Amino acid sequence: MKALENNEGVSMTAKLTHLERLEAEAIHIIREVAAEADKPVMLYSVGKDSAVMLHLAKKAFYPSPPPFPLLHVDTTWKFKAMYDLREKAAKDAGMELLVYQNPEAKERGINPFDHGPLHTDMWKTDGLKQALNHYGFDAAFGGARRDEEKSRAKERVFSFRTASHGWDPKNQRPELWNLYNAKKKKGESIRVFPISNWTELDVWQYIQLEEIEIVPLYFAAPRPTFIYEGGLFMADDIDRLKEVMGEVPEITERSVRFRTLGCFPLTGAVESEASTLSEVIQETLLTTTSERQGRVIDKDAGGAGMEKKKQEGYF
């Protein structure tokens, strides 16, 4: 972001905007981890928050490429458009892309239709733990934000996980000023959230100002959709849907977009005409339901769903 406009050589201290401050803070966090961790990695989910985080990493180390790889913990059930952007984004950043799929989930054919919450547990929660152990990463950047969900509001920027990846909300290290304590024992790891203090609106606006490429599914377009258990979904891969659902659902073309991207059968679409960033932001601001509501995961286990997932090691 262009922070200062120098008016005909007249020195002035412009007041930094909130986005400029958030950007500087995130870059500072990313550099601290690169300097203090032995083997950091950036978790990359291909969503808009990941896109912003990757962009910030590029900025933090320019003109060098970021000194760590990207890791995608894959479920094999992501939207096709996400896989396309994943390869391109890593290549553009000059970063190595690691893809990890839980071999056990793969072998057992775990899928969102037959296995419900087990799908998330095995592919994502277990998959992430396995991937971090497999590669020996001791610090992992994640794109979580404090405004997403109640228990996230109390998350530290540097969040410590035991050797078994557990999170103990009562035993977190105090974080003062912008001094982050990255010391840890062998086997322990840190999850680091550089965009903790960003809101959904901040993320959208930053994407617009910085012209960051995001998955086209965030914009409305005519897409093949079906209704399943009262939710609206996109038929991204009809062959696979048929395989797991036993039949091809009734498909109707609707103008839809996604507010959040996960596995295509778990992520609800919304009917929308918003095909530009401005329109998407407009719709987001005027909407009356919160972002994660399209995801099934938070509703498990009542109000404490996400907190429980985190204690078990979910990001």
Partner 1 sequence: MTEQSKDSVYQTDALIAEDIDSYLETHQHKTMLRFITCGSVDDGKSTLIGRLLYDSKMIFEDQLEALSSDSKKVGTQGQDIDFALLVDGLAAEREQGITIDVAYRFFNTEKRKFIVADCPGHEQYTRNMVTGASSADLAVVMIDARKGVLVQTRRHSYLCHLIGIRNIVLAVNKMDLVDYDQDTFDRIVADYAAFAEEIGIESFTAIPISGFKGDNITLAPSENTPWYEGPSLVDHLESVEVLSDIAADMPFRMPVQWVNRPNLDFRGFSGLIASGQVKPGDAVRALPSGKTSTVKSIVTFDGELDEAQAGQSVTITLADEIDCSRGDVLCVADDPPETADQFEATLVWLNDEDLSVGRGYWLKLGTQTVSATVQQPKYRVDVNTMDELAAKTLSLNDIGVAEVYSDKPLVFESYAENRTMGGFILIDKITNATVAAGMLNFSLRRSQNVHWQATDITREHHAQMKNQTPRVLWFTGLSGSGKSTIANEVEKKLALMNRHTFLLDGDNVRHGLNKDLGFTEADRIENIRRVGEVARLMTDAGLIVLTAFISPFRAERRLVRDMLEDHEFIEVFVDTPLEVAEQRDVKGLYKKARSGELKNFTGIDSPYEAPENPEITVNTVAMTPEEAADHIIQQILPLK
| Interface of this chain with partner 1, residues 200 to 229, rule: CB under 8 A | 201-202, 205, 208-209
Copy the structure tokens of residue 312. 């078990």
Helix, strand or coil for residue 26?
helix
- Considering only residues 65 to 84 of the shown chain, the ones binding partner 1 according to CB under 8 A are 65
Beta carbon of residue 72, minimum distance to partner 1 (angstroms, whole number): 23
Residue type, 286: L
Q: Do 273 and 255 meet the contact criterion of CB atoms below 8 Å apart?
A: yes
Q: Does 10 bind partner 1 (CB under 8 A)?
A: no
Using the contact rule CB under 8 A, the part of the chain among 22-30, 68-76, 105-113, 249-257 near partner 1 is 22-30
Largest CA distance in the chain: 70
Beta carbon of residue 268, minimum distance to partner 1 (angstroms, whole number): 13
* Of residues 252 and 278, the one with the C-beta less far from partner 1: 278
Hey, what's the torsion of the CAs at 286, 289, 291, 295, to 10 degrees?
-150
Copy the structure tokens of residue 55. 């962009």
Strands 158-161, 70-74: parallel, antiparallel or unpaired by DSSP? unpaired
Distance CA 2, CA 155 (A): 30
Site string for partner 1, 97-126 (x = CB under 8 A): ------------------------------
Q: Does 64 bind partner 1 (CB under 8 A)?
A: yes
- Considering only residues 146 to 205 of the shown chain, the ones binding partner 1 according to CB under 8 A are 146-147, 150-154, 169-170, 172-179, 181, 183-185, 196-197, 199, 201-202, 205
Distance CA 102, CA 106 (A): 6
Q: Which of 237, 300, 307, 312 binds partner 1 (CB under 8 A)?
A: 307
- Considering only residues 32 to 51 of the shown chain, the ones binding partner 1 according to CB under 8 A are 32, 34-35
Residue indicated by tokens 């997932």: 309
Copy the structure tokens of residue 155. 């998350």
- Considering only residues 128 to 147 of the shown chain, the ones binding partner 1 according to CB under 8 A are 146-147
Beta carbon of residue 39, minimum distance to partner 1 (angstroms, whole number): 16
Q: Which of 84, 92, 134, 287 binds partner 1 (CB under 8 A)?
A: 287
Q: Please enumerate in sequence order all residues whose Cβ is within 8 A of that of 223, keeping only pairs 6 or more positions apart, or say none.
A: 234, 253, 254, 255, 256, 269
Beta carbon of residue 311, minimum distance to partner 1 (angstroms, whole number): 10
Using the contact rule CB under 8 A, the part of the chain among 28-36, 124-132, 134-142, 228-236 near partner 1 is 28-36
b/e burial code for range 164-190 (CB count within 10 A of at least 16 → b): ebebeeeeeeeeeeeebebebeeeebb
* Of residues 101 and 199, the one with the C-beta less far from partner 1: 199
Beta carbon of residue 272, minimum distance to partner 1 (angstroms, whole number): 14
Sheet of 270-271: strand order equals: 231-234, 221-228, 252-257, 270-271
